[in-house]
Amino acid sequence: MPRDIPVGNGDLLITFDDRYRVRDLYYPRVGRHNHTDGHVQRFGVWADGKFAWIEDHGWERDLRYKADTLTTEVRLVHKGMALEIISNDVVDYSDPVYFRRCTIRDLAGRPRDVRLFFHMDLSINGSPVGDTANYDPSTSAVVMYKDDSYFLVNACDQHKCGIDHWAIGAKRVGGAEGTWRDAEDGQLGRNAISQGSVDATVGFNLQLAPNGESHVTSWIACGHSYDDVKNLNQRIWRKGPDRLIARTEAYWKLWCRKEPIDTTPLPEPVRDLFYRSQLILRTQIDNGGAIIAANDSDITHFAGDHYSYCWMRDGALVAHGLILSGQSELSRSFFRFAQSCIRDEPYFLHKYTPEGHLASSWHPWMIDGQKILPIQQDETALTLWALRRHFEQFRDVEFVKTLYQSLIVRPADWMLQHRDHNGLPLPSWDLWEERRGVHTFTIASTIGALQAAAAFARDFGEPDRAAAYREGAERMKGALRRHLWHPERRAFARMAVPLDDGTYRLDMTRDSANYALFAIAGLDPRDPIIRDEMDSLRDRLWVKTSIGGCARYERDYYHQVESQKTDDVPGNPWVICTLWQAMYHIEAADTVEELRQALPLLEWCVKRALPSGVMAEQFDPYTGAPISVSPLTWSHATYVTVCIQYLRRLEMIREKSRNRKNAPNQQTPI
């Protein structure tokens, strides 16, 4: 079930499913720990002796955000109960507090006694063993805790602060379903404390005049001790929760519009998703610098693992989007995080936890009795490449100085050493993490990295080193053309497999990742071989159903839809792969008309996004339903990148046009 309307601040992340149920609560790092373990946190309403959980039939749900904020605007209508609820969810921009403001309106035209119930089914630090839940009369709140993780649940309405009633008990042990069942008669039992596998449900009483409305604002304050959450609770009472929500809305409006980027040339829906994508990808970035791929715990049911890790490849390409949009503090944090991960070796391993530890991996350290490096070389290369993009944008010399040896010199020296007799990278795993060989994407990424390293070495006054990196990049470009370009097919291989005689066996499967030839390696997008390559990718990988979009590669098996026909549906359409085609149209454009070929691909993303603006990793090729994790940070970052590249190219084309018009009027000086 896709995640929707995530809210967070880099320390605390809350995700919802499409029925508006909280499913994930990450604290104190985005991606770790998930204190719900993916279990449903229920939300229910009692009125006139009737009860309905939010997932029940009868509810109409519209899940969106307020414009340019990370405050949700969720509309819930139950015609059978004659109630409308407008719910605003937000995580404070500074403190680890999640707020939910519910405004309830009567649709029946009579006085109403309405009760709201919020259910907390926590597995603190990822496990329910040893949890405690208790009612604290000094704060009129329920507190759940274990070790150094504390969560205080409280609320205020127009007249008072404190929860009205509560239930605390066991869950999923001894046949106990949980305290949420206790809410269905509109009353809670007020048990004061329970320990072990426990949950809690809190209730709030509201009186509605005919056609009138009332509201209650609840919150979960997170901390590392009882004092932490009690002090936070006191501050919320003192300042008022609605005031804290308002200041957070103001902050995010400032954050996403801080750069003077003129987005008016983009169609309004494309423009709206540009700003929304920036905000959504921010929720997936930890304040410690880790850029998390996705935080959707449902994927664990499919893969036995999750996406709540930092892949340096994803991180570098997301950082590129942050750089283009002017979010320099976030890109700096990522590069500092990368520096902390690379440690003793000059390359990155598979992926890392939000704290910078080596994460789970399926890359072996030995094949056929031979020791190998369990790496994807593109991850190391792209981090160096993105760091150069950061430096060119912000020119922060003092910052780059601290990274020069660890993220530039040592990796670049290693990439020069880690080559075969033709000057190509030695085999590693591909960006899709499925096959081992010499990949076009990896070669292109390494060329981009060596070019970046050469520029850095030149800037830092090391001409010999700069020359070595530049020569390595040029030799690799030549080897790429000689050994991976297939002249008869007019296409690049996706992979070359080294043979014993020093030659290569080519895998000519069409793969969207070959976009890196122009986007990372810097090959001229107007070169006929690049044009032929991108045309071939579009022709072979475009999904020929009403859904459209580009697949990763031919016969892609990951989350393959059972009825898939490979002739018309080479794989599920991915946001990033579709946008790589848009990127090509932008980079190759010499006229406004050529540039506008990218717009339908941006508009495709708008159509595929949920009403909230959230984009998944991939989609069902027949229904367009989200598949795999949602939101995918990489999807939103690529969308941001392409929008800015479009605007920059448009300005470049217009500037050339202005110069041509002015040229005849210029007089030759005497």
Position 466 in a domain = yes
Q: Residue 513 gets which letter from DSSP?
A: G
Position 502 in a domain = yes
* Residue 664, pLDDT score: 64
362 and 390: one domain?
A: yes
Say how many domains are in the chain. Answer: 3
* Residue 668, pLDDT score: 47
* Residue 23, pLDDT score: 97
Position 248 in a domain = no
Domain of residue 486: give its range.
309-537
Residue 297 · residue 250 · CB < 8 Å? no
* Residue 606, pLDDT score: 98
* Residue 57, pLDDT score: 94
491 and 431: one domain?
A: yes
457 and 484: one domain?
A: yes
Tell me how far apart the alpha carbons of residues 462 and 3 are, in angstroms, rounded to a whole number: 49
477 and 564: one domain?
A: no
Tell me how far apart the alpha carbons of residues 127 and 196 are, in angstroms, rounded to a whole number: 10
Largest CA distance in the chain: 98
Position 243 in a domain = no
Q: Which of 428, 445, 339 is nearest to 375 (CA)?
A: 428
317 and 191: one domain?
A: no
* Residue 663, pLDDT score: 78
Position 241 in a domain = no
458 and 359: one domain?
A: yes
315 and 447: one domain?
A: yes
**Regions of the chain short of the pLDDT cut 50:** 668-670
List of residues 6+ apart from 645 with CB closer than 8 A: 324, 583, 586, 587
570 and 623: one domain?
A: yes
406 and 508: one domain?
A: yes
Place of tokens 């993490």: 433
Which helix (DSSP H) or strand (DSSP E) does residue 45 occupy?
A: strand 43-47
315 and 458: one domain?
A: yes
R_g of the chain, CA atoms, integer Å = 27
Position 498 in a domain = yes
Residue 4: Cβ-neighbour burial (10 angstroms; 0-12, 13-18, 19+): buried
Query: Which of 516, 537, 558 is the last residue before a domain boundary?
Result: 537
Q: Which of 584, 625, 633 is nearest to 608 (CA)?
A: 625
Peptide bond into 28 cis (omega under 30): yes
Tokens of 225: 């001790």
Query: Which of 493, 511, 537 is the last residue before a domain boundary?
Result: 537
Residue 87 · residue 101 · CB < 8 Å? yes
Q: How far is CA 204 from the centre of its chain?
A: 34
Q: pLDDT per residue over 555-605, tens digit each?
A: 999 999 977 677 899 999 999 999 999 999 999 999 999 999 999 999 999
* Residue 670, pLDDT score: 41
Residue 1 · residue 14 · CB < 8 Å? no
Position 665 in a domain = no
Cα 237 to Cα 94, 96, 221, 243: the distances in Å are 16, 15, 12, 10
Which DSSP string corresponds to 532-569? HHHHHHHHHHB--SSS--B-SBTT--TT--TT--TTT-
625 and 527: one domain?
A: no
Helix, strand or coil, per DSSP, at residue 607: helix
List of residues 6+ apart from 651 with CB closer than 8 A: none
* Residue 2, pLDDT score: 80
Q: Residue 32 gets which letter from DSSP?
A: E
* Residue 158, pLDDT score: 86
Which DSSP string corresponds to 189-227? ----EEEESEEEEEEEEEEE-TT-EEEEEEEEEEESSHH
Cα 180 to Cα 41, 45, 213: the distances in Å are 9, 12, 25
131 and 181: one domain?
A: yes
Which DSSP string corresponds to 210-272? TT-EEEEEEEEEEESSHHHHHHHHHHHHHH-HHHHHHHHHHHHHHHHT-S----TTS-HHHHH
Residue 263: how many CB atoms within 10 A of its CB?
16
Tell me how far apart the alpha carbons of residues 381 and 418 are, in angstroms, rounded to a whole number: 12
List of residues 6+ apart from 351 with CB closer than 8 A: 309, 310, 311, 312, 359, 360, 361
Helix, strand or coil, per DSSP, at residue 646: helix
Position 294 in a domain = yes
